[in-house]
Amino acid sequence: MKYLEYTPLDRINDFLSHVNLGERTVKGCLEAYSCKTTSGKHTGSDKKLSLSLEHEILDYLGKSSDTDSSSPVEYLCSCRSSRKTLIYLILTLYHMYPDYDFSAVKAHQFFMEESWDSFKQIFDAYMFEASKVEANEGSPLLDTLYRALDEVVKLAECEIYSYNPDSDSDPFLEKGAIWSFTFFFYNRKLKRVVSFRFSCLSNLVVEGFLTDGVSYEEDGEIFDDMDM
């Protein structure tokens, strides 16, 4: 996987780095990655991780006898290309959060295939207030996002996935988070993926957390001067 720089994505990231809405702050980040090198193969570290994930999946399939069509096994068994897509998505997660250990068998349960319409519904519902903030030369935020994504990954050719982990498996969860979403736009032909995570944080919780930290430090300084 190789991180790709695109000016259209950078412009949106600049805007979404901190949209203050009073008691809440909306944040968002777009990252583009190539799933191949110039030779068409993974880099050394990604190759090892890719093989490890493949073995984990195959080992799980070999030990399971579940035949339910809606089960994780059926999803992973569907075809090699599905497993490869899953591995690319998890490799992207690793690049986004290199210190987090993602399990292929567990992580795949949190991915769900989406359409542009389903993504748009979520974006419109949760990013409504942020979209009203004048930015991006007056163009609607969703239109600007659509053009940027289309330039990078050709949306008409994309598979779209949401990633919705439980709270114990969510590396994206931040202090004071009210809601958060993570989407992946994957172009199989280009072997290119764009991740888009956006969230809303409570300023009251975040500021309260910072105040508690300051108070704690001040208390520590007081006790440092006391003979115990």
Domain ranges of the chain: 2-203
139-185 pLDDT per residue, tens: 789 999 999 999 999 999 999 999 988 776 677 777 788 999 999 99
61-88 pLDDT per residue, tens: 766 655 454 555 455 555 667 788 888 9
Residue 13 has pLDDT above 80, yes or no: yes
What is the maximum span of the chain, computed from C-alpha positions, in angstroms?
70
Task: Name the residue type at position 126.
Answer: Y
CATH superfamily of 2-203: Repressor of RNA polymerase III transcription  Maf1 (3.40.1000.50)
Nearest to 140 by CA among 20, 5, 15: 15
Cβ-based neighbour number of residue 222 at 10 Å: 8
Q: What is the pLDDT of residue 217?
A: 46
Nearest to 90 by CA among 208, 195, 209: 195
8 backbone dihedrals φ, ψ, rounded to 5°: -60, -35
107-140 pLDDT per residue, tens: 777 889 999 999 999 999 999 988 887 554 567 8
Tell me how far apart the alpha carbons of residues 117 and 153 are, in angstroms, rounded to a whole number.
Answer: 17
Q: Provide the whole-model pTM.
A: 0.80
Tell me how far apart the alpha carbons of residues 54 and 75 are, in angstroms, rounded to a whole number.
Answer: 14
Q: Residues of 168-193 as b/e, b for ≥16 C-beta within 10 angstroms?
A: eebebeeebbeebbbbbbbbeeeebb
